């Protein structure tokens, strides 16, 4: 994973988020407060707009810059969570590198751990973590087992989708949807949906590589 891949991923995610605008917005209107799509878009536009600044940088430096920038741009609950994800991922990339799949899995896992710590949240609470944790765990397990790249990515896409769908039947205990209690049951969490879109997009991009 080089810096160019990170930038192309950001551009692809930006497009994918725009494509899913109405879906993410209607989920957020149902159980959130209507700002999730706007915040995600603002984050994407920000990273895409940093291409010239980021392109010459090493991946870990680029990820760190992205994290700090998102922290001061997105706001809301997403800002600290996604900002912390990138900053922790940058640290792991700096220590471990990004040449091999196990290294990337380690960096991704470090990012997900940072979201858990900052949000004081875990799997099963109807949040983005219901997508990110299973994807991260499977990513680590399959790379340890030496899974072949294309089938690994296909499994991660499926894992993300299952995680996203699993939030439908959950009662929220974290995030804005927590205020609804039982009323949120039956709705997919908008943060889980946008996370699934992001994972799906990045896997597709990696498959084309």
Partner 1 sequence: MKKFINQVDDLLVESLSGFAAAHHDIVSLNLDPNYLVRAHKAESKVALISGGGSGHEPLHSGFVGYGMLDAACPGHVFTSPTPDQMLAAAVAAESGKGVLFIVKNYAGDVMNFEMAAEMLPFEHATVMTSDDVAVENSTYTTGRRGVAGTVIVEKVVGSLAETGADLAACKALGDRVNSRTASMGVALTSCTVPAAGRPTFDIEHHELEMGVGIHGEPGRRRELMRTADEIVADLVAAILDDLKPVQGSEALLMVNGFTGTPLMELYVLYNSAAKLLKQQGITISRSLVGDYTTSLEMAGASITVCLLDEEIRRHWDSPVHTAALRWGK
Residues that bind partner 1 (CB under 8 A): 25, 29, 31-35, 37-39, 42, 71-81, 83, 118-120, 173-176, 178-181, 183
Which of 81/135 has CB closer to partner 1? 81
The greatest distance separating any two alpha carbons of the chain, rounded to the nearest whole angstrom, comes to 49
Which of 120/209 has CB closer to partner 1? 120
Which of 71/165 has CB closer to partner 1? 71
Phi, psi at residue 41, to the nearest 5°?
Answer: -65, -45
CB of 108 to partner 1, least distance (A): 21
The encoded tokens of residue 85 equal 């994800």
CB of 16 to partner 1, least distance (A): 19
189: left (phi over 0), alpha (psi -120 to 50) or beta: beta
CB of 166 to partner 1, least distance (A): 20
Q: What is the dihedral of CA 162, 198, 118, 35, to 10 degrees?
A: -100
Which of 117/154 has CB closer to partner 1? 117
Q: Which of 60, 36, 34, 66 is nearest to 48 (CA)?
A: 66
Which of 4/179 has CB closer to partner 1? 179
CB of 105 to partner 1, least distance (A): 26
* Torsion sign across C-alpha atoms 168, 160, 36, 126: positive
C-alpha span between 186 and 126 (Å, rounded):
11
CB of 31 to partner 1, least distance (A): 8
């Amino acid at each position: 994973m080089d810096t160019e891949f990170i930038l192309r991923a950001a551009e692809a995610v930006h497009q994918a988020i725009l494509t899913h605008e109405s879906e993410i917005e209607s989920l957020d209107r149902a159980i959130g407060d209507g700002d999730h799509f706007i915040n995600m878009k603002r984050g994407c536009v920000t990273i895409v707009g940093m291409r010239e600044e980021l392109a010459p940088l090493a991946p870990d430096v680029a990820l760190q810059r992205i994290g700090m920038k998102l922290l001061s741009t997105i706001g809301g609950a997403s800002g600290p969570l996604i900002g912390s994800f990138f900053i922790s991922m940058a640290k792991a990339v700096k220590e471990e590198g990004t040449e091999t799949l196990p290294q990337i899995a380690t960096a991704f896992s470090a990012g997900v751990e940072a979201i858990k710590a900052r949000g004081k949240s875990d799997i099963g609470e109807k949040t983005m973590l219901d997508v990110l944790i299973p994807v991260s765990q499977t990513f680590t397990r399959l790379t340890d087992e030496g899974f072949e790249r294309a089938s690994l990515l296909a499994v991660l896409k499926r894992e993300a989708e299952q995680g996203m769908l699993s939030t439908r039947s959950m009662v929220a205990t974290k995030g804005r949807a927590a205020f609804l209690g039982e009323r949120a049951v039956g709705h997919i969490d908008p943060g889980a949906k946008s996370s699934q879109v992001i994972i799906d997009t990045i896997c597709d991009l990696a498959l084309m590589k």
